[in-house]
A and B are shown apart, each in its own frame.
Chain A
Amino acid sequence: MSLPLNINFQQILLHMFNLCLLFGGLYLLLYKPVKRFMDDRAAKYKSVDDAAKEKLLKAQEAETLAEHRLKDCEIKIEQDMAKSRADAEAEAESIIKDANNTRKQILAAAEDAALREKNRMINDAREEIAELAVKAAEKVIAEKKVKSDD
């Protein structure tokens, strides 16, 4: 069947048959394997990228957690330090108070002891003086007696 411009359906169909053969052959032999290789490589890189991103995300989460923990620790340390400082101050006050009390007690005891010692010494001195006076009197008496006997 001949048409203007020498268009021929039989030859058009022959060309289409040729295109069909070419499509099948090139698709199976060239396009598909190359595309599959490219897709596999892209998938591999994507999985590596995803894994890296996941690790990065985990690391960031861990970092955030560590920062939070660090912050909590700092707060706790500050609280503990404040508490310790308050305890220490309270303890120091009580120690000072106790020391003052002890000092007062010791001072009072020392004063008592000194007073007692003073009284004792006065008494002892009185007794000695009395004894000496007695002895002196006895001696005077004895001398007077001797003189009188003479």
Chain B
Amino acid sequence: MSKKRRTIFILVWVLCAAAFLVSSLVIGGASPEESIKETMRDAVLHDTNKISLFGIMDVNPAVISAYTVTFILLIFAVFVRIFAVPKFKTIPGKFQILLEEAVGFFDNLAKGNSPHKNYFLGAYVFVAGAYICIGTLFELLGLQGITTSGRSITLPAPLSDINGAIAMGVTSYLIILSGGILGNGFKGVLSTLKEFSLPISMSFRLFGALLSGLLVTELVYYYVGLSFALPVVVGVMFTALHALIQTYVLTMLTAVFYGEVSEKTPKKEKIKTKKRRKQI
């Protein structure tokens, strides 16, 4: 590119950017239909904006997000199964390495934390990890949904809804419970039930972490003046970090508790010890 052409390109680029910036500031956004208080309240409670689920019932937008994420993941999985897996080689290519690393990471996480009966756990933490990670990154796409009141809203991350987080936490707890039953039978159930606060803590940890990110993003996006450059940092980086951290935290917790409750407890030799003492 010659010097003259480069100068022209930079000039046009700066002019365009300046035109968009000035026009957006002059024109301003549409007058907000809801106050920031209402926006924040809706972000936490999801009680204002509802979306119709195939006309069957009105649900929170996060439910639609959850099904959309599932659809995306399943479509991706179908494509991988049909086009990529049959072409797998002993010496893997880049995409194969990526898939094997993902599967291997969660498989090793399960094996490392739960030496007994870890195949099912490996599959579960893989799916949960994929769901949390992609579900959290999903909000970056900014897909729009139409509410029952006819407004357009950006679909949030599925786990930023308390119901989605509770579902994830309870499902993880049920998986841990199944590990306890498989490993130790009735004792496993008891040891799992001892950790009765686990589903609550898991659910609210997820919800709190994702909600905090959502609230900060909502705050930033609420004001037009903050919508330049800052969203790149706040939106993308916070979301990406949340996705990775929450994926790791929930899968790690599930694997650790699963390993604890499925580990076979050695039989106590109290009676024998007492007998020996008497004999002595």
Name A residues whose Cβ lies closer than 8 Å to a Cβ of B. Answer: 5-8, 10-16, 18-19, 21-23, 25-27, 29-35, 37-38, 41, 44
Q: Which one of B78, B103, B124, B162 contacts A6 once the chains associate, using CB atoms below 8 Å?
A: B162
Cα-based distance from A6 to B85 in the complex (angstroms): 43
Contact A5 B100 (CB under 8 A): no
Contact A18 B67 (CB under 8 A): yes
Cα-based distance from A21 to B85 in the complex (angstroms): 21
Contact A26 B166 (CB under 8 A): no
Contact A34 B85 (CB under 8 A): yes
Q: A27-B123, A27-B127 are in contact. Are A12 and B170 (CB under 8 A)?
A: yes
Q: Which residues of B contact A21 (CB under 8 A)?
A: 70, 74
Q: Which one of A12, A16, A23, A34 contacts B103 once the chains associate, using CB atoms below 8 Å?
A: A34
Contact B78 A22 (CB under 8 A): no
Cα-based distance from A138 to B175 in the complex (angstroms): 161
Give the nearest-CB partner of A21 in chain B: B70
In B147-164, the 8 Å CB interface with A consists of: 158, 161-164
Determine whether B99 belongs to the interface, using a CB cutoff of 8 Å to chain A. Answer: yes
Contact A23 B47 (CB under 8 A): no
Q: Which residues of B contact A27 (CB under 8 A)?
A: 123, 126-127
Cα-based distance from A8 to B171 in the complex (angstroms): 16
Q: Which one of B53, B73, B161, B170 contacts A26 once the chains associate, using CB atoms below 8 Å?
A: B73
Contact A31 B171 (CB under 8 A): no
Cα-based distance from A47 to B70 in the complex (angstroms): 39
Contact B167 A23 (CB under 8 A): no
Q: Apart from A13-B167, A21-B70, A30-B81, what 15 extra A-B contacts exist at CB < 8 Å?
A: A5-B44, A6-B162, A8-B60, A11-B161, A12-B167, A14-B163, A19-B131, A22-B70, A26-B73, A26-B74, A26-B127, A27-B123, A29-B74, A29-B81, A30-B103
Q: Which residues of B contact A25 (CB under 8 A)?
A: 70, 73-74, 77
Give the nearest-CB partner of A14 in chain B: B63
Contact A16 B73 (CB under 8 A): no
Contact A7 B81 (CB under 8 A): no
